[in-house]
Amino acid sequence: MEGVKLNMENKTNSKIDLDSVFSVKNVSVNYGDFVAVKNVSMEMYKNKITAFIGPSGCGKSTLIRSFNRMNDLVPSAKVSGEILYQGINLYDQNVDPVQVRRRIGMVFQKPNPFPKSIKENIAFGLRVNNMTDNLDDRIEKALTQAALWDEVKKDLDKNALDLSGGQQQRLCIARTIAVEPDTILMDEPCSALDPVATKKIEDLMQLLVNEFSILIVTHNMHQASRVSDYCAFFTTKATEDGRRTGELVEYNDTKTMFTNPIQSLTEEYISGRFG
Amino acid sequence: MSLDTKIKNLELDLFSMGELVIKTLAEAVKALETRDVELAEVVKKKDGEVDKAYLKIDKDWFELMATEQPVAKDLRLATSILQASLHLERLGDLSVYLCKTTKEISNLPIPESLHKIIVEMGYMVIDMSSEAMESLKSKDIELALATANKDKEINNLYNKMLNEVSNISGNKDLYTGLFRLITCVRTLERGGDHAVDICELTAFLVSGEFREF
């Protein structure tokens, strides 16, 4: 199957200017004999925010989890095809998954800080990665980058679980960026947050994208339209055995996706007329 | 009320506003053609209805944006409707201007050849506006393009009028009348532009790309 190409509105120059971060070629992810998502081909770009949208079960979370080998932790999961990260095949035998996860950090739906102090939450990953020189500076830098420093600088020994949900999520972002990744994967990072905390995370993403490449899975289409530069729409299709498999329908720049999408399925989904 | 119903209602309001504006414009041109000051007075008063229709669309569009945040085709349609309503409102103002001109020139010595030009331009604006609205209704880019091309004829008549006026000499009453006619043809020429802008909205609605005709 041909990969879904990014429509660049004939702006060939801008395509040349964009550095690819992920180059995904015919990727399918199985759980046992169940195909969760199949034949995805797409390019994602450096210092851009790419959003994955689509109904539940369309494989967007499964796919994003295969981008930092989180699916290795699921025994029945099998990734086929090729995922190149800055030209390196992520699933090559010589590639260390721990290093992959340091370079490609992840933030989850539910804020999941360790039940330890704010400071320890950041320091933990730094110790694991032998990045303990200038520890206090690194902690301050990560919390500042995550727009949390001013709120917690006097309470660094406070238990992270005493923070609000929004603060906990920004702490998880700080924990992720402390180990100096290049890319941040975000799997519905705001779905457990109220609109004020959501706004803070969205504003933060606009700052972080200057230094990192960001991929976000979101159920909130307005969030995708607000924060992302590129947007991929996935859907599920029934297979012969009655199960459903995720497929990439359209991948385009966000402005085009929300004003003049090419595929009628995309149009139906984003305008709430799906199914 | 569903998003579909809200947008459908906006569309219906726009096309009934279009019918009202074009009917009023036709009466205004008729008054100008027959130099019927009484008819002009009656027609002028209809502008209140046009303004009311515009304000309703403006208010409903605003509420639609606030509550539904439409995207893709819905967004293009809603935006085209709002912009088209603004052009229709201006075409409504054109009717008022024609009625005023009818009254102002009623006792002035206007050369027949110039009067003919202005009336001809009036009928062309009616024709273009009507076709522009039809193209929007039927989402017909070909019709939109053909209609927009007619604007050249209006511009030709406008230039013909300016050329003829410069060759006329006469008394103060004649000059006063000519001055009224020139400002009126300028307004008619803008009327053609409003029709062209509506045609551009048809193309935007269908293709998603804005282009100047």
Chain B residue numbers touching A271 (CB-CB < 8 A): 3, 70-74
pLDDT value, residue A14: 42
- Chain A and chain B share a number of CB contacts under 8 A equal to 29
pLDDT value, residue A144: 95
pLDDT in tens, B167-186: 888 888 888 889 999 999 99
Rounded to a whole number of angstroms, the distance between the first and last alpha carbons of chain A is 24
Of B95-104, B139-148, B168-177, B183-192, which range is least confident?
B168-177
* Structure tokens that stand for A266 in this block: 């995309």
Q: What are the two backbone dihedrals, phi and then psi, of residue B45, each rounded to the nearest 5 degrees?
A: -70, -15
Instruction: Report the C-alpha gap between A216 and A142 in whole angstroms.
Output: 20
Structural element, H or E, at residue A80: strand A77-85
pLDDT in tens, A142-192: 999 999 999 999 999 999 999 999 999 999 999 999 999 999 999 999 998
Structural element, H or E, at residue A186: strand A183-187
The pTM assigned to this predicted structure is 0.85
Q: Do A261 and B72 touch (CB under 8 A)?
A: yes
Share of chain A above pLDDT 90, in %: 85
State which residue of chain B sits closest to A257, comparing Cα positions. Answer: B72
Chain B residue numbers touching A226 (CB-CB < 8 A): none
pLDDT in tens, B195-207: 999 999 999 999 9
Interface test with A, best of B71, B210, B211 (most A CBs within 10 A): B71
* Structure tokens that stand for A10 in this block: 């004939």
Interface test with B, best of A268, A269, A270, A271 (most B CBs within 10 A): A271
pLDDT higher than threshold 70 for residue A13: no
Share of chain B above pLDDT 90, in %: 84
B208 Cα to chain A: minimum distance (Å): 6
Residue A57 three-state SS: coil
Instruction: Report the C-alpha gap between B180 and B106 in whole angstroms.
Output: 11
pLDDT higher than threshold 80 for residue A102: yes
| CA within 13 Å, CB half, B127 | 14
- ipTM for the assembly: 0.78
pLDDT higher than threshold 50 for residue A98: yes
Q: Does A11 contact chain B (CB < 8 Å)?
A: no
pLDDT value, residue A7: 45
| Average pLDDT score, chain B | 95
Give chain B's domains with CATH numbers: 3-207 (1.20.58.220)
Share of chain A above pLDDT 70, in %: 93
Q: What are the two backbone dihedrals, phi and then psi, of residue A96, each rounded to the nearest 5 degrees?
A: -85, 120
B10 Cα to chain A: minimum distance (Å): 17
Cα torsion angle, B57, B59, B62, B64, sign: negative
* Sequence-distant contacts of B150-157: CB under 8 A, at least 24 apart: B150/B124, B150/B192, B151/B192, B151/B193, B151/B195, B151/B196, B151/B213, B153/B124, B154/B121, B154/B124, B154/B125, B154/B128, B154/B188, B154/B189, B154/B192, B155/B189, B155/B192, B157/B117, B157/B120, B157/B121, B157/B124, B157/B185
pLDDT value, residue A9: 41
Contacts of A228 by beta carbon, 8 Å cutoff, 6+ apart = A49, A50, A51, A216, A254
Instruction: Report the C-alpha gap between A31 and A65 in whole angstroms.
Output: 13
pLDDT in tens, B11-30: 999 999 999 999 999 999 99
Contacts of B138 by beta carbon, 8 Å cutoff, 6+ apart = none
pLDDT value, residue A78: 95
Q: Topology of A12-109+183-270 in CATH? A: Rossmann fold (3.40.50)
